[in-house]
């Protein structure tokens, strides 16, 4: 039986303690957060099945935290907690994607019943999802079938797993799915983005620290290796891990224990380590940015996360899935697109992969005035009100920027998405002539070839405007 | 006169929850002067925040009547806040002050009965 993990978000410690004590007796793993900031940290560290979110957090509304939970942990059921009994608030929170609404005058027995009912329903729905394709894993293409088969073979093997794939292909979804089907599923899943945390904090985040280990260490803190227990820890963007920390990680993987900062007592590493990156690690090793010995250590079982281009037959199913998700989230009833729009969606190369498709569908739903998806909303980033030859160059520059290039992206992903769009733009402008690109952007030809390889571009395809034609067709 | 169900929690037979109830009584004892101070200083935003929070913890611990009284105080504080923001007449505010103080007094009376039942050592 999988351990159910629940997070209580309430600014009142009395409420947190009372619910935590009551719910732990149901064999639930319960964590507490007293603010939106603590909520963000908790979501970063642990995957939850249920979140109880207080409607009023000090001077802020708990509903501010709802989009973050739905984005970071879409499989968690969020119940809004409130001391008031307002139908309007209940409707509003459900409209925004909450699974339910609980008032604080509910007896503890009623609270338990509500949560049990939700968890039973969710177990059934999880089983349905697993039967149709792993948890959160949508698609039946050959590429996805092959990936699933490989995951099935390695799911219970303790070796380190390396997930490779372009940005936006769902590497974290694969890691979570691998955890869910493994014999470690009853243990926690923890994830950390090695590129998103400052170097000086990453070590403490991974290994934990003792009180007084450094100036801000006011109490003992468990690191993610310890939080993951015998479960799974995902080291996302491993290619961005600082070189000094790579050395320490290598030692941990070899010796199977780690030492929290400020401690001398080794803690055994029980979790399975899964690494993921969109970088070409071999190239990173050659350039000296990634340790060769660590590369060999983590390059044991490799799972390739396919680009959306290579699994275009999954696109209709993904569109339907994202549409349903957005309709629920925004309280809309936008219909599945007509054949002409589906053709356009299928023809587009989706450089930002599934994430870009998801963002485009979301934009289409949000902007739809009549419950239909419209091409100008889905492909919003390809439209410009300006016309004429002088505007065309600007428009083309805009057109190559993927919709996934949002200011909300982590820096590493934003930088990668921009680099891809930038390279695409200059290759088209130079008709695939590497020397011209090299001169235009002030880099050596060897650098251009490395970038081509990194982003999966073939310069030949830009000769004679084929790539341009492919882009502007949409 | 408060009934037994007003001053007792249905969860007090559970040792773990009883410990939290005792802690809650301690919190109320600390917060009561702050509530009175909020009324005298007309710090209505803080009065709304405090009474809302105490309404929640009262209800979660099964003190239904106390939760309702805090709810009344919260509503009065909200009314006073909007009246205060709209710069209504001082006379109206005086009336509200009396209502707020009376509301707080009902809470204090009930709290003293709860405290007599649960304060540590009793």
Distance in angstroms (rounded) separating the CA atoms of residues B101 and B77: 11
Query: Phi and psi of A57, rounded to 5°?
Result: -115, 90
Residue A41 or residue A258, greater confidence: A258
Burial of B18 (0-12, 13-18, 19+ CB in 10 A): middle
The per-residue pLDDT for A72 is 74
Q: Would you say B103 and B70 are in contact if contact means Cβ atoms under 8 Å apart?
A: no
Q: Is the model's pTM score more than 0.80?
A: no
Burial of B16 (0-12, 13-18, 19+ CB in 10 A): middle
With an 8 Å Cβ cutoff, is A32 touching chain B?
Answer: no
Highest mean pLDDT among A44-48, A342-346, A381-385, A457-461: A342-346
Report whether pLDDT(A388) > 50: no
- Supply A87's token pair: 């139908």
Measured distance between the N- and C-terminal CA atoms of chain A, rounded to whole angstroms: 48
- Supply A249's token pair: 């990680």
Report whether pLDDT(B4) > 70: no
The fraction of chain A above a pLDDT of 70, given in percent, is 86
For A129-188, write each residue's pLDDT tens digit.
444 444 567 888 889 888 988 888 888 888 899 999 998 898 988 998 888 888 888 788
CA of A215 vs chain B CAs: smallest distance (Å): 31
The per-residue pLDDT for A206 is 92
For B46-79, write each residue's pLDDT tens digit.
999 999 999 999 999 999 999 999 999 999 998 8
| Strand, helix or coil for residue A182 | coil
* Chain B environment of A14 (Cβ under 8 Å): 20, 23-24, 27, 57, 60-61
Helices and strands of chain B, counted as H and E runs: 5, 0
As for the ipTM of the complex, it is: 0.88
The per-residue pLDDT for A474 is 28
Q: Would you say A40 and A7 are in contact if contact means Cβ atoms under 8 Å apart?
A: no
A11–B60 C-beta distance less than 8 A: no
A17–B20 C-beta distance less than 8 A: yes
A58–B60 C-beta distance less than 8 A: no
Which residue, among A134, A128, A276, A272, has the nearest Cα to A195 in the 3D structure?
A276
pLDDT tier for residue B1 given thresholds of 50, 70 and 90: low
Report whether pLDDT(A18) > 80: yes
Distance in angstroms (rounded) separating the CA atoms of residues A143 and A304: 9
Chain mean position to CA A165: 13
Comparing A192-196, A244-248, A442-446, B102-106, the range with the smallest average pLDDT is A442-446
Give the single-character DSSP code of A310.
G
Interface of B with A (CB under 8 A): 10-11, 16-17, 20, 23-24, 27, 45, 49, 52-53, 55-57, 59-62, 64, 67, 71
CB-nearest to A15 from B57, B62, B64 is B57
A 75-104 near B (Cβ less than 8 A): 83-84, 103-104
For A421-451, write each residue's pLDDT tens digit.
888 888 888 888 887 887 777 777 777 887 8
Which residue, among A437, A442, A470, has the nearest Cα to A452 in the 3D structure?
A437
Q: How many CA atoms lie within 13 A of A358 on its CB side?
A: 16
Q: Which of B29, B43, B45, B57 to mutate to test the interface with A (most CBs of A within 10 A)?
A: B57
| For range A213-226, the mean pLDDT | 84
* Chain A environment of B11 (Cβ under 8 Å): 108
- Mean pLDDT (chain B, rounded): 85
The per-residue pLDDT for B79 is 85
């Amino acid at each position: 039986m999988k351990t159910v993990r629940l997070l209580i978000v309430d600014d009142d410690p009395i409420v947190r303690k009372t619910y935590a004590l009551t719910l732990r007796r149901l064999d639930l793993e319960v964590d507490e957060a007293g603010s939106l900031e603590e909520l963000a940290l908790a979501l970063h560290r642990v995957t939850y099945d249920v979140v109880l979110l207080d409607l009023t957090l000090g001077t802020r509304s708990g509903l501010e935290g709802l989009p973050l939970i739905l984005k970071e942990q879409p499989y968690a059921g969020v119940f809004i907690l409130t001391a008031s009994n307002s139908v309007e608030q209940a409707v509003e929170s459900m409209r925004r994607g909450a699974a339910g609404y609980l008032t604080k005058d509910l007896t503890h027995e009623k609270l338990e019943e509500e949560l049990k009912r939700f968890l039973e329903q969710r177990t059934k729905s999880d089983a349905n999802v697993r039967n149709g394709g792993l948890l959160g894993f949508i698609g039946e293409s050959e590429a996805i079938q092959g990936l699933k088969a490989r995951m099935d073979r390695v799911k219970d093997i303790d070796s380190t797993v390396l997930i490779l794939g372009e940005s936006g292909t769902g590497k974290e979804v694969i890691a979570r799915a691998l955890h869910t089907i493994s014999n470690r599923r009853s243990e926690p899943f923890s994830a950390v983005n090695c590129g998103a945390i400052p170097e000086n904090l990453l070590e403490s985040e991974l290994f934990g620290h003792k009180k007084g280990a450094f100036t801000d260490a006011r109490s003992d803190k468990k690191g993610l290796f310890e939080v993951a227990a015998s479960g799974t820890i995902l080291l996302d963007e491993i290619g961005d891990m600082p070189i000094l920390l790579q050395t320490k990680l290598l030692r941990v993987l070899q010796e199977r224990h780690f030492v929290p900062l400020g401690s001398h007592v080794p803690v055994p590493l029980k979790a399975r380590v899964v690494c993921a990156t969109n970088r070409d690690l071999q190239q990173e090793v050659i350039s000296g940015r990634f340790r060769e010995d660590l590369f060999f250590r983590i390059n044991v079982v490799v799972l390739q996360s396919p680009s959306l281009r290579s699994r275009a037959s999954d696109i209709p199913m993904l569109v339907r899935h994202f549409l349903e998700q957005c309709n629920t989230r925004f309280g809309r009833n936008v219909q599945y697109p007509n054949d002409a729009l589906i053709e356009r969606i299928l023809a587009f190369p989706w450089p930002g992969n599934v994430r870009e498709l998801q963002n485009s569908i979301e934009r289409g739903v949000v902007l739809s005035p009549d419950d239909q998806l419209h091409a100008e909303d889905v492909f919003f980033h390809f439209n410009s009100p300006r016309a004429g030859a002088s505007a065309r160059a600007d428009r083309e520059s805009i057109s190559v920027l993927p919709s996934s290039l949002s200011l909300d992206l982590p820096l590493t992903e934003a930088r990668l998405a921009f680099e891809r769009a930038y390279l695409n733009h200059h290759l088209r402008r130079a008709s695939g002539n590497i020397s011209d690109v090299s001169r235009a952007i002030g880099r050596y030809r060897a650098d251009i070839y490395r970038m081509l390889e990194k982003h999966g571009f073939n310069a030949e395809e830009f000769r004679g405007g084929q790539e341009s034609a492919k882009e502007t067709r949409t | 006169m408060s009934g037994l169900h007003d001053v007792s929690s249905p969860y007090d037979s559970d040792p773990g929850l009883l410990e939290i109830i005792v802690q809650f009584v301690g919190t109320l004892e600390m917060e009561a002067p702050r509530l009175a101070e909020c009324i005298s200083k007309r710090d209505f935003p803080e009065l709304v925040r405090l009474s809302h929070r105490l309404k929640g913890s009262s209800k979660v611990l099964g003190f239904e009547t106390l939760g309702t009284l805090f709810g009344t105080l919260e509503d009065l504080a909200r009314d006073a806040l909007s009246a205060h923001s709209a710069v209504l007449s001082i006379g109206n505010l005086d009336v509200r002050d009396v209502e707020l103080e009376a509301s707080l007094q009902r809470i204090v009376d009930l709290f003293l009965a709860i405290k007599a039942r649960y304060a540590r050592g009793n």
